[in-house]
């Protein structure tokens, strides 16, 4: 099927299936502030997956790199990972592990969040420190102040389940409120078995997560203060796309906020603290490594302990003026990381994957929003970030038996030499990065407002890109099956981007298209390693059944991104609405002829919504084109296009209770999601090295009760 035919197929499916409009798509979208933000509110959205990042698939330009059922990495216009700034209630969370098993949205479960938003296009400098690839923000439920001094008990109960993995989730939010105070508590439990696809199961893909929160808010006069503490415990959870699975993720998250405001000024202070402890292994959920006789190879058993301690502070002042506002502030994010690889069968074995890593960012910004005339507006801003990083001295013992000859002895000598070379380098790095943005708008009447924007955005290397000293796959969740080496001397990435688009609101028809181009200097990409010692060690490890040969080394290259995305809706009648989202992006190297890795294929969502009295229903199609533009450097496999159809429906059985039900992949379509990674765990249904398949038909339901 051709690409154009593939995009037209869902139109035919929807228009010919209007009579089937009972339940609806997996999630309905409520668009708020469409000029520069796209928001999904979970109260108005049917949600099946456990991973909040799945909601990004519904947003123009956004998607998810899926490495596990709780391990989704945000992608926006082709960029992903650390390039996309993700915040939760204003706080930035650094992953606890070097492969992003707990990507930031892991700490914003679907059953807890109130909304998930993306900044469409060029991101204001006030949104975050390093937003070269965009900005995603999650807000959790916090309760509402009452209208009197009398105390009132309120809350929300959320129950859900899905058939594709026998998954279930239950949560309860309780709040005790009056005019000045909110006391709140939240409890959640969710679990799921291995997920099913057309011809089998993805193993391991089970998950188990507990969460509890407690918080307090106070307001009086011009002052408002809040304090929240959360404990997120993720237990056994599979990540078949990565070399290990989650054994435990014990996380403590603290956030406090103070705001003072009057007619002209608003001052905000926010502080966050996150403490994450993470264990993983390659044997407790997946089949352990085997020797030539088919018995467990105890020498290749691995478990890894990682930790991440990070804190952040934001001070921001806004001033209203006659034709707009001024916004200025300072912010900081301090993080420390450690990763230690062990063998449970050999106490002397260890590898300092990362040792005493520090990465700190201190920034300052100033921003202006103004009306130039009755029909024109301008937003401008500038930011400066000071980024410093450092690593402790590393060590290794790959020869726990202390053999004086043989492969373990040779590998250990090579690893010791690499460690010595790394320790001898100047590991302390500092960068001074300047960002700016400008966005001009003009109302040309006819219900159309045009936008044009430009920006310079930067990002310093991640700690994995700088300090991965030995060939390993700890590469921030790239999940390409390759192993990598870092480089402490990497330069920061610098992107110059432009965007043009318009907003059209004509009665029953809305249309919000954007076209963009981004050129990135010193883009950080893995290139074939020229380190002879590292290459030899990688080959020996591969021969011993550990890792792969031919490592890549992070290096600065040149790259570019360009594309188009849009969202639109049309009210066919008082009860019927047709909605669409289209996303097209290209990412390519400019120094050589190659495409960038893991770029989302062209995709379109069409949804037909029906509303009547106290119930709604939707029929949705999601179409992905063939992806033939793949990275040869990363040995990326091509994928065929596909269309899946989803149904959902919701009914308000009372003013305080809603029941919903849906079916994902109604036709049980067999397909490959290009942004799913490659299988790393033995599975009779999926070959090692094969792309993980898309999930099969799933019936799901939820109940929400407010009191």
CB within 8 Å of 393: residues ≥ 6 apart: 355, 423
Ramachandran angles phi, psi of 64, nearest 5°: -140, 130
pLDDT of residue 501: 95
Domain extent for 278: 3-706
Task: Report which of 166, 54, 73 is spatially closest to residue 694, judged by C-alpha positions.
Answer: 54
pLDDT of residue 587: 98
pLDDT of residue 38: 87
Give me Rg for the CA atoms of the chain: 25
Give CA separation, 88 vs 113, 138, 207, 278, in Å: 9, 5, 22, 20
**What's the full length of the chain, in residues?**
707
pLDDT of residue 48: 80
Give CA separation, 652 vs 230, 295, 616, 703, 705, in Å: 31, 57, 9, 10, 10
Lowest mean pLDDT among 139-148, 251-260, 455-464: 139-148
C-alpha 36/C-alpha 248 separation (Å) is 38
The two tokens of residue 661 are 């039900």
Long-range CB contact pairs, 13-17, < 8 A, 24+ = 13/621, 13/643, 13/645, 14/578, 14/606, 14/607, 14/608, 14/619, 14/621, 17/608, 17/619
What is the helix (H) or strand (E) element at residue 423, kind and residue range? helix 407-423
C-alpha 223/C-alpha 201 separation (Å) is 53
Lowest mean pLDDT among 40-49, 74-83, 187-196, 257-266: 40-49
State how far Cα 6 lies from the chain centre: 28
Strands 195-197 and 493-506: unpaired
pLDDT of residue 12: 34
Ramachandran angles phi, psi of 82, nearest 5°: -65, -15
C-alpha 272/C-alpha 92 separation (Å) is 8
3-state class of 574 per DSSP? coil
The two tokens of residue 572 are 């066919």
Q: Return the half-sphere exposure (C-beta side, CA atoms, 13 A cut-off) of residue 435.
A: 32
Our count of domains for the chain comes to 1
Helix, strand, coil in percent for the chain, rounding step 5: 10, 55, 35
Q: Does position 183 have pLDDT exceeding 60, yes or no? A: yes
C-alpha 579/C-alpha 567 separation (Å) is 8
Q: Does position 116 have pLDDT exceeding 50, yes or no? A: yes
pLDDT confidence band for 41 (50 / 70 / 90): confident
Share of the chain above pLDDT 70, in %: 95
Question: How many other C-beta atoms can be found within 10 angstroms of the C-beta atom of residue 542?
Answer: 16
What is the helix (H) or strand (E) element at residue 534, kind and residue range? helix 532-543
C-alpha 138/C-alpha 40 separation (Å) is 10
pLDDT of residue 43: 81
Q: What is the pLDDT of residues 396-445, one digit of tens each?
A: 999 999 999 988 999 999 999 999 999 999 999 999 999 999 999 999 87
Sign, Cα dihedral of 96, 47, 80, 680? positive
Give CA separation, 572 vs 141, 191, 623, in Å: 34, 40, 22
CB within 8 Å of 432: residues ≥ 6 apart: 384, 385, 386, 387
Strands 484-485 and 552-571: parallel
User: Can you tell me which residue has the tokens 């003009």?
Assistant: 442
In order, the DSSP letters of 145-207 are --SSSS-EEEEEEEEEEETTTTEEEEEEEEEEE-SSEEEEEEEEEEEE-PEEETTEEESS--E
Provide the CATH number for the domain around residue 642. Answer: 2.40.170.20
Task: Report which of 631, 443, 416, 427 is spatially closest to residue 533, judged by C-alpha positions.
Answer: 416
Angle CA(248)–CA(97)–CA(338) in degrees, nearest 5? 105
pLDDT of residue 23: 36
Q: Taking a C-beta distance cutoff of 8 angstroms, is the pair 8, 626 a contact?
A: no
Q: Does position 356 have pLDDT exceeding 50, yes or no? A: yes
Q: Does position 272 have pLDDT exceeding 80, yes or no? A: yes
Q: Name the pTM for this structure.
A: 0.93
- Average per-residue pLDDT in the chain? 93
Task: Report which of 606, 618, 552, 611 is spatially closest to residue 579, judged by C-alpha positions.
Answer: 606
3-state class of 351 per DSSP? strand
Angular region, 78: left φ>0, alpha ψ -120 to 50, beta rest: left
pLDDT confidence band for 35 (50 / 70 / 90): low
Q: Return the half-sphere exposure (C-beta side, CA atoms, 13 A cut-off) of residue 14.
A: 29
CB within 8 Å of 205: residues ≥ 6 apart: 68, 69, 165, 192, 194, 195, 238, 240
pLDDT confidence band for 446 (50 / 70 / 90): confident
Q: Taking a C-beta distance cutoff of 8 angstroms, is the pair 342, 370 a contact?
A: no
Q: Does position 171 have pLDDT exceeding 90, yes or no? A: yes
CB within 8 Å of 158: residues ≥ 6 apart: 111, 169, 170, 171, 172, 173, 702, 703, 704
Exposed e or buried b for every residue in 326-339, given b needs 16+ CB within 10 A?
ebbbebbbbbbbbb
Q: What is the pLDDT of residues 456-515, one digit of tens each?
A: 999 999 999 999 999 999 999 999 999 999 999 999 999 999 999 999 999 899 999 999
Task: Report which of 77, 58, 80, 126 is spatially closest to residue 498, judged by C-alpha positions.
Answer: 77
Q: What is the pLDDT of residues 653-679, one digit of tens each?
A: 999 999 999 999 999 999 999 999 999
Q: Taking a C-beta distance cutoff of 8 angstroms, is the pair 128, 671 a contact?
A: no
Q: Taking a C-beta distance cutoff of 8 angstroms, is the pair 43, 36 a contact?
A: no
Q: Taking a C-beta distance cutoff of 8 angstroms, is the pair 702, 160 a contact?
A: yes
pLDDT confidence band for 545 (50 / 70 / 90): confident
Q: Taking a C-beta distance cutoff of 8 angstroms, is the pair 602, 521 a contact?
A: no
CB within 8 Å of 319: residues ≥ 6 apart: 264, 265, 325, 326, 327
Q: What is the pLDDT of residues 617-636, one digit of tens each?
A: 999 999 999 999 999 999 99
Cis peptide before 568 (omega within 30 of 0): no
Task: Report which of 454, 464, 206 is spatially closest to residue 335, judged by C-alpha positions.
Answer: 464
C-alpha 495/C-alpha 519 separation (Å) is 5
Q: Classify residue 17 by burial, with Cβ atoms within 10 Å: 0-12, 13-18, 19+.
A: middle
pLDDT of residue 19: 33
Lowest mean pLDDT among 37-46, 385-394, 446-455: 37-46
């Amino acid at each position: 099927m051709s690409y154009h035919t593939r995009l037209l197929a869902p139109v035919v499916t929807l228009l010919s299936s209007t009579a089937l409009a009972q339940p609806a798509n997996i999630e309905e979208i409520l668009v708020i502030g469409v000029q520069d933000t796209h928001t999904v509110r979970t109260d108005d959205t049917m949600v099946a997956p456990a991973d909040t990042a799945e909601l990004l698939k519904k947003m123009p330009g956004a998607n998810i790199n899926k490495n596990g059922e709780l391990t989704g990495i945000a992608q926006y216009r082709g960029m992903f990972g650390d390039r996309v700034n993700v915040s939760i209630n204003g706080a930035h969370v650094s992953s606890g592990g070097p492969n992003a098993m707990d990507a930031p949205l892991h700490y914003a479960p679907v059953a807890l969040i109130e909304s998930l938003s993306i900044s469409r296009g060029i991101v204001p400098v006030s949104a975050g420190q390093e937003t070269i690839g965009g900005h995603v923000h999650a807000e959790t439920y916090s309760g509402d102040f009452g209208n009197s001094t009398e105390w009132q008990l309120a809350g929300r109960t959320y129950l859900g389940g899905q058939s594709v993995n026998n998954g279930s989730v239950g949560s309860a939010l309780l709040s005790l409120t009056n005019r000045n105070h909110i006391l709140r508590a939240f409890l959640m439990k969710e679990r799921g078995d291995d997920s099913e696809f057309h011809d089998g199961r993805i193993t391991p893909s089970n998950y188990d997560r507990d969460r509890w929160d407690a918080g307090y808010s106070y307001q009086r006069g011009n002052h408002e203060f809040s304090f929240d503490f959360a404990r997120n415990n993720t237990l056994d959870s599979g990540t078949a796309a990565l070399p290990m699975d989650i054994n435990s993720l014990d996380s403590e998250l603290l956030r406090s906020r103070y705001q003072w405001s009057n007619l002209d000024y608003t001052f905000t202070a926010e502080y966050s603290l996150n403490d994450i402890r993470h264990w993983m292994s390659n044997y407790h959920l997946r089949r352990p490594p085997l020797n030539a006789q088919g018995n467990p190879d105890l020498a290749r058993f691995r478990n890894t302990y990682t930790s991440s301690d990070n804190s952040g502070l934001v001070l921001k002042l806004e001033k209203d003026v006659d034709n707009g506002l001024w916004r200025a502030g300072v912010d900081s994010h301090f993080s420390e990381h450690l990763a230690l690889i062990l063998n449970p069968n050999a106490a002397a074995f260890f590898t300092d994957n990362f040792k005493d890593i520090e990465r700190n960012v201190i920034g300052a910004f100033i921003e202006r929003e103004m009306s130039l005339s009755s029909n024109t507006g301008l937003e401008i801003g500038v930011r400066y970030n000071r980024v410093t990083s450092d690593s402790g001295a590393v060590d290794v013992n790959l020869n726990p038996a202390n053999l004086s000859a043989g492969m373990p002895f040779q590998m250990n000598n090579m690893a010791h030499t690499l460690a010595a070379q790394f320790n001898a380098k100047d590991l302390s790095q500092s960068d001074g990065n300047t960002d700016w943005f400008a966005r001009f708008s003009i109302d040309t009447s006819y219900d159309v407002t045009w936008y044009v924007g430009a920006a310079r955005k930067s990002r310093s290397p991640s700690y994995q890109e700088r300090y991965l000293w030995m060939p390993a796959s700890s590469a921030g969740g790239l999940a390409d099956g390759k192993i990598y080496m870092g480089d402490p001397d990497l330069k920061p990435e610098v992107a110059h981007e432009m965007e043009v688009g318009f907003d059209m609101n004509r009665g029953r028809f809305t249309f919000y298209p954007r076209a963009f181009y981004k050129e990135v200097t010193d883009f950080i990409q893995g290139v074939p390693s020229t380190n002879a010692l590292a290459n030899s060690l990688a080959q020996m490890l591969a021969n011993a059944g550990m890792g792969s040969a031919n490592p890549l080394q992070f290096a600065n290259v040149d790259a570019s991104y360009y594309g188009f995305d849009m969202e639109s809706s049309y009210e066919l009648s008082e009860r019927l609405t047709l909605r669409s989202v289209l996303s097209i992006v290209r990412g390519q190297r400019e120094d050589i002829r190659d495409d960038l890795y893991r770029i989302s294929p062209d995709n379109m969502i069409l949804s037909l919504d029906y509303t009547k009295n106290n119930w709604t229903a939707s029929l949705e199609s999601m179409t992905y084109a063939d992806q033939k533009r793949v990275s040869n450097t990363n040995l990326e496999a091509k994928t065929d296009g596909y269309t899946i159809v989803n149904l959902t429906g919701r009914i308000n059985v009372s003013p305080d209770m809603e029941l919903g039900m849906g079916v994902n992949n109604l036709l049980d379509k067999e397909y490959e999601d290009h942004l799913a990674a490659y299988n790393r765990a033995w599975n009779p249904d999926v070959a090692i090295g094969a792309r993980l398949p898309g999930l099969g038909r799933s019936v799901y339901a939820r109940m929400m009760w407010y009191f």
